[in-house]
Amino acid sequence: MSEELFEKLTQAVVDGEPEDAEALVEQALEQGIDPLACINQGLMKGIEKVGELFSDGRYFLPELILGATAMKAALEVLEPRLIGSQKREVLGTVVLGTVAGDQHEIGKTLVGTMLTANGFQVIDIGVDKKADDFVAAIVESNADIVGASALLTTTILEQKRLIDTVVEAGLRDKVKVLVGGAPVTESFAVEIGADGYADDAISAVHVARKLISAAE
């Protein structure tokens, strides 16, 4: 039963149908299906397919935008369920954003949701943010971790620029740097001097926890 629903969810993203995607996740939640399973087994497959069709030249920018709109509509329904309502001890503060020149927000937002759900206070500064914007938010919030997302091979070097700017601001001993995004790899993270790398939202939580306990 849930397999069929996940397939429909995948298709709603591929077809760029936000209303269908929203209705399907509402149906899934009513049936007690795990919100994370809706993301991993339904929505992610859909957006990956959209990316493939775009790479193959069968989809163009409008279809890419529609696919993302459908995914975002479904995620907005799921997010409150992921976060829950109980008050917890705050594990640490994370400034999170997508780097300059990069408009991709879905993965960054999902990372923020999972961090929030797991006890972090997340200051989401949005997309297309310069290194200076991250640094200003770190200073303002006294953050423990800064997280930078990058989805384009042309923007991943902004993560290095962020680290350089954090060093120049004299904050490198105070804040840990976490990087991620589809083209980012563990070896790239090591090469630019980041403290942590995560390939998905769940591992971002594990890495953030390790970074906090290493700093204590």
The residue ranges that bind ligand B1M (CB under 6 A) are: 47-48, 50-51, 54-55, 61, 64-65, 67-68, 101-108, 110-111, 147-149, 151-153, 178-183, 198, 200-201, 204
Closest to ligand B1M by CB, 73 or 178: 178
Rounded to an integer, what distance in angstroms lies between the CA atom of residue 107 and that of residue 200? Answer: 8
Least Å distance, CB 70 to ligand B1M, is 10
**In terms of Cα–Cα distance, which of 97, 110, 100 is closest to 47?**
110
Least Å distance, CB 99 to ligand B1M, is 10
Least Å distance, CB 183 to ligand B1M, is 6
For residue 158, the number of C-alpha atoms closer than 13 Å in the C-beta half-sphere is 27
Round the CA-based radius of gyration of the chain to a whole number and report it: 18
Closest to ligand B1M by CB, 135 or 178: 178
The DSSP symbol for 16 reads T
Closest to ligand B1M by CB, 31 or 154: 154
Closest to ligand B1M by CB, 32 or 68: 68
Least Å distance, CB 95 to ligand B1M, is 10
Least Å distance, CB 102 to ligand B1M, is 4
Closest to ligand B1M by CB, 58 or 87: 58
Rounded to an integer, what distance in angstroms lies between the CA atom of residue 6 and that of residue 12? Answer: 10
Rounded to an integer, what distance in angstroms lies between the CA atom of residue 61 and that of residue 151? Answer: 16
Cβ 16 vs Cβ 67: under 8 Å: yes
Cβ 120 vs Cβ 150: under 8 Å: no
